[in-house]
Structure 1
Amino acid sequence: MATRHLYLVRHGEADPFGELTDTGRHQAALLADRLAALPIDAVLHSPLSRAAASAAIIADRLGVPAEEAAELVDHVPHVPDPMLPEWAGFFDGFDRAEAAAGARLAAALTERFAGPAATEVHEVLVTHAYQVAWMLRHALDAPPERWLGLNSGNTGLTAIDFPSGGAPRVILFNDMGHLPEALRWTGFAGGAKP
């Protein structure tokens, strides 16, 4: 029985222009060290520079190819309809065309990655918080709006197995054990952290 082992990762910390910071480069290197014990076949990444740069660091340290995957681009995967009052401000100004485009991208993401592969494969997907949340929601067969509030820190590791027989298995979500305390929780809003 073949299993697709996905290691979903939010890119390292980025500056306001979307470029990796020194902290982001350090986070990506530490994540690569953590993944080095696994039989990683490929590192795929979003077209955006912060994800591509994170993936390049990871792939270089692991000695595997890095490849762009358009399905991993940052986008809003689902807009609730009817709108939940607590999320109305987040979606203010979001129109139907944007919602439809996001839904198409979300469908392409799950079609390409959320299922078994022909052979056993271990893939690192360097993407964005919304895409990690969408894949987790999909694996848990949760309602579409459940992607909201599933936050990932920079280089937080989420692992999901997609076996050829049976339901997906969520192994980890947003695990930051590879990061020292000073590098954790980047990419989150302010407030108390556990």
Structure 2
Amino acid sequence: MARTQLYLVRHGEQDPASNHARDGGLSQLGREQADRLGRRLRTVPFSAIHHSPLARAAQTADVAAGHLPNVPRHDCEFLMDRTPVPSSGHRDSYPDRWLAWLDSVPDEERDADAAALQAAVEHFGATGEEDRYELLITHNFVIGWFVRHVLDAPVWRWIGLNQANCAITVVQWDADRPPALVSFNDTGHL
């Protein structure tokens, strides 16, 4: 029975001097978190490291990859920082208390009806002929969407699933059963 395990990691702490700019890099603490992450994961037989193209995720991958020699890595649009927002026809699937906040999400982060995030789940969440372990370094809401998906929760339940910087969440697909949440927001290495 083939298995896919995805290790979902939020990037390290962003440099506060960047004023939370969309493409701000890591702080010194963020680099230390990424180093601890790499040390924690060095024995996992990863086939690939995928990361968001944004600087904080790319820098996290650079540091962690120092502990994962010979594991190929690349930036991946599937892991871009996105916020699922309901289209006008699906606003009733979200609690009213969240709608004003969702309406304020900047255009460059909006993912209408989570189309891009669902494509990411379909892309990564599949089994093949052999076991596969992949490291995905991404952003809080992306991880929240994956967790919401594997738990088969309502579409809005990604809200409030907050990840610590460089925490590890593991989701798993097996060939003959529904996906499962193995661990959530593990910070033992930090």
Tell whether the structures are fold-level matches, with TM greater than 0.5. yes
Counterpart Cα distance in 2 of 1:99 and 1:33: 33
How do 1:123-138 residues align onto structure 2 when only pairs under 5 Å count? 123-138=134-149
Mean Cα displacement is larger for which, 62-71 or 120-129?
A: 62-71
> TM-score, normalised to structure 1's length?
0.84
Counterpart Cα distance in 1 of 2:97 and 2:83: 16
Gaps of 5+ in 1: 180-194
Counterpart Cα distance in 1 of 2:118 and 2:96: 25
Native 8 Å contact 1:3 1:121 kept in 2: yes
- Equivalent residue number for residue 188 of structure 1: none
- Equivalent residue number for residue 80 of structure 2: 73
> TM-score, normalised to structure 2's length?
0.86
> Identity of aligned pairs, percent?
39
C-alpha deviations, 1:135-159, integer Å up to 9, x for none?
A: 0011111111111111101011101
- Equivalent residue number for residue 126 of structure 2: 115
How many angstroms does 1:75 deviate by? 0.6
Considering fraction of residues, name the structure with more strand: 2
- Equivalent residue number for residue 155 of structure 2: 144
Report the 3-state secondary structure (helix = DSSP H, G, I; strand = E; otherwise coil) of the residue aligned with 1:61: coil
- Equivalent residue number for residue 12 of structure 1: 12
- Picking from 59, 62, 84, the partner of 1:56 is 62
User: Runs ≥4 in structure 1, deviation > 6 angstroms?
Assistant: none
User: How many corresponding residue pairs?
Assistant: 178
Is residue 35 from structure 1 mapped to residue 34 from structure 2 by the alignment?
Answer: no
